[in-house]
């Protein structure tokens, strides 16, 4: 896994870089399909923004590019929230990939293990009544609030 950390409006110290690599490195133990993670840390200069410590990540994995963005009042808290959010997104992506693999084998994800109920092939006249209304001539039928009825 390749990790890149950049700062916007902030100078990244060695302590911040080590903290990011420690937290993001834990993700590699759970998910082996991560190729690259780009982490952008920044500070908003606007005094009206209370959550001005930003943490963004772009995660490159097999078949997708995942993007996560978090902000809070503390940079270290933003990094912690970012890693938690990346973990949730990666779990969702991994579940989606596993679901695709099962459906490619012909197995249904939604109806795993359930068998479909067989419908009867022949219905009696009483059972057919009210189920289907057929008309040979569409001009003879009229529409009411209850549905189609013949005149």
- Residues 16-67: tens digit of each pLDDT: 999 999 999 999 888 888 999 999 999 998 888 888 999 999 999 988 899 9
Going along the chain from its start, the domains and CATH numbers come out as 2-104 (3.30.160.100)
pLDDT of residue 19: 95
Count of residues in the chain: 151
Helix axes 75-104, 14-30, angle to 10 degrees: 20
pTM (2 d.p.):
0.65
What would you report as the CA-atom Rg of the chain, rounded to the nearest whole angstrom? 29
The Cα 61–Cα 44 span in angstroms is 29
CA terminus-to-terminus distance, the chain: 74
**pLDDT tens, residue by residue, 104-134:** 666 654 555 445 555 555 666 666 555 555 5
Categorize the per-residue pLDDT at 1 as very low, low, confident or very high, splitting at 50, 70 and 90: confident
The Cα 92–Cα 81 span in angstroms is 17
pLDDT of residue 100: 76
**pLDDT tens, residue by residue, 133-151:** 555 545 555 555 555 555 5
Q: Where are the alpha helices (DSSP H) in the chain?
A: 14-30, 75-104, 125-128
């Amino acid at each position: 896994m390749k990790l890149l950390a950049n700062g916007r409006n902030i100078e990244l110290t060695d302590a911040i870089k080590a903290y990011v690599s420690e937290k993001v490195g834990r993700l590699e133990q759970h998910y082996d399909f991560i190729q690259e993670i780009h982490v952008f840390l920044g500070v908003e200069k606007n005094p009206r923004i209370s959550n001005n410590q930003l943490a963004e990540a772009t995660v490159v994995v097999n078949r997708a590019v995942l993007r996560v963005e978090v902000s809070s009042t503390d940079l270290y808290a933003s990094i912690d929230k970012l890693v938690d959010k990346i973990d949730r997104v990666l779990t969702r992506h991994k579940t989606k990939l596993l679901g695709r693999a099962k459906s490619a084998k012909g197995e249904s994800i939604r109806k795993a293990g359930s068998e479909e109920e067989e419908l009867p092939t022949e219905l009696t006249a009483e059972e057919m009544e009210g189920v289907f209304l057929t008309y040979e001539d569409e001009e003879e039928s009229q529409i009411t609030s209850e549905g189609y009825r013949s005149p």
